[in-house]
Amino acid sequence: MAFSDLGLVPEILRAVTECGYNEPTPIQAQVIPVALTGCDVMAGAQTGTGKTAGFTLPMLSRLAPYATSSPSPARHPVRALILTPTRELAMQVEESVHKYGKYLPLRTTVVYGGVNMNVQIDKLRAGVDILVATPGRLLDHVQNKTVDLSHMQIFILDEADRMLDMGFMPDLRRIIELLPPQRQTMMFSATFSGEIKKLADTIMNLPQLIEVARRNTAAETVKQLVHPVAKEYKHALLTHLIKSRSLRQVLVFCGTKLGANRLAQHLSRNGIPANAIHGDKTQMARIEALDQFKQGVIQVLVATDVAARGIDIDQLPFVVNYDLPRAAEDYVHRIGRTGRAGASGVALSLVAEDELRYLADIEVLLNMKIPTEIVDGFTPPLDAIPEPQRSPRQRNDAAFRKPTEIAPKRAYAEMEVPDMPLIKSVNSTGKQKQVAALFLPPARQMSGET
């Protein structure tokens, strides 16, 4: 299947070619032809499968007849509205719309909270065909009468599941009441809960349901690994892993804003340039941190789940769960930050005893066991190594029944990681073999000790 088979206008095909995309992803191949007919679409696919282009390309193609370089605001009413749950995601979606629509004179802007409204008001007044918005700020503009949605034809809800998780339902209802009933509605989500389906029923008209890949499957290209460790040694272990394996571009997840700040400070003090993003940081600070991370100025970005949602960094090689998420589904979203669109990635989880129950939940959700490796010098006080023949729950109990037993050391597995960005081919044993630097044993283990 080629992009040219999907029925998109030539201006878009040209832009997509320039992005270096060879062929549509499975969700794109399924959604685009359906969306181009104008019918409602409810689409689900795991993170990193290219959903943004899945809705942006048909949207742009349908709006192409309205594209005009006329400066008149009247020629640029809001024709499409894209709602996203977070500011970062809104910015990224806007960037994608610009990228894919660069050969079409359609105007796009983004509005989100946390920044002054005046610049946004000026842009809206000048005329905008495609508006990307977070729900709260959009309602501010509605209240201010600085946005008119009466000409809107295409309504897109991105990350609908997270939107509901974040409590945007009342805002969504208010927004939906303002939209013309004659419209195309498209909903995109990584997961389909009952609540999402209910929302879909109320805002859509005979939607086409398109679901790609199994529900809640972790991106298959991601190598996952658990490092059991005592809670108080987590920061030391992370520092050790990053330094001894020269990891770059590491996205680290923390459960709390305070924890994220502290960890970023600790890493910086230890010579690893790091910054934190979370809900308490100003918009400017978040944008700056993300830019620094993308450019490699900082080596580690520490993020909370909400702040990280939707962040797309091409081929992010490493994700670390400094804390395991309480909701197993968040684990899937987190590790979706790596191994995106075919590139492989590595997801490490530092797991303390009190997190074993979250690990058990994650393994149940994934329907697989995540391999465990104890890092030399960081043997946890309790035996938290999974027994292969036991269920995660039983193992969990067993770990607490043997508090004094020291877990045996384990040698590092040499995991083959194809096409890893930022990882050099390492010749550890004399064999020419591509081994992720990440999985090389620390120097003293390499000398034969296991």
Question: Which of Mg ion, ligand ADP, none does 312 bind, CB closer than 5 to 8 A by kind?
Answer: ligand ADP
Residue closer to ligand ADP (CB basis): 25 or 134: 25
Report, in Å, the least distance between residue 191 CB and Mg ion: 12
Element (H, E) at 26: helix 26-36
Residues 342, 420: Cα–Cα separation, whole Å: 11
Report, in Å, the least distance between residue 376 CB and ligand ADP: 36
Residue closer to ligand ADP (CB basis): 52 or 379: 52
Residues 305, 47: Cα–Cα separation, whole Å: 14
Question: Which of ligand ADP, Mg ion, none does 66 bind, CB closer than 5 to 8 A by kind?
Answer: none
Report, in Å, the least distance between residue 319 CB and Mg ion: 16
Contact between residue 82 and residue 156 where contact means Cβ atoms under 8 Å apart: yes
Question: Which of ligand ADP, Mg ion, none does 278 bind, CB closer than 5 to 8 A by kind?
Answer: none
Question: Which of ligand ADP, Mg ion, none does 101 bind, CB closer than 5 to 8 A by kind?
Answer: none
Tell me which residue has tokens 């689409």.
43
Site residues, Mg ion (CB under 5 A): 51
Site residues, ligand ADP (CB under 6 A): 21, 24-25, 28, 45, 47-53, 312, 314, 340-341
Report, in Å, the least distance between residue 99 CB and ligand ADP: 8
Number of helices (H), then strands (E), belonging to the chain: the values are 17, 13
Report, in Å, the least distance between residue 277 CB and ligand ADP: 17
Q: Which two tokens stand for residue 42?
A: 């409810």
Question: Which of ligand ADP, Mg ion, none does 49 bind, CB closer than 5 to 8 A by kind?
Answer: ligand ADP
Residue closer to ligand ADP (CB basis): 228 or 345: 345
Residue closer to Mg ion (CB basis): 54 or 380: 54
Report, in Å, the least distance between residue 123 CB and ligand ADP: 24
Residue closer to ligand ADP (CB basis): 88 or 312: 312
CA quadruple 187, 192, 194, 196: dihedral, nearest 10: -20
- Spatial strand order of the sheet with 274-277 comes to 222-228, 345-351, 318-321, 250-253, 300-303, 274-277
Q: Residue 225 gets which letter from DSSP?
A: E
Strands 41-44 and 184-189: parallel
Residues 223, 349: Cα–Cα separation, whole Å: 11
Residue closer to ligand ADP (CB basis): 50 or 135: 50
Q: Count Cβ neighbours within 10 Å for each residue of 259-284 and write b for 16 or more, e otherwise.
A: bbbebbebbbeeebebbbbbeebeee
Question: Which of Mg ion, ligand ADP, none does 275 bind, CB closer than 5 to 8 A by kind?
Answer: none
Strands 154-157 and 130-133: unpaired
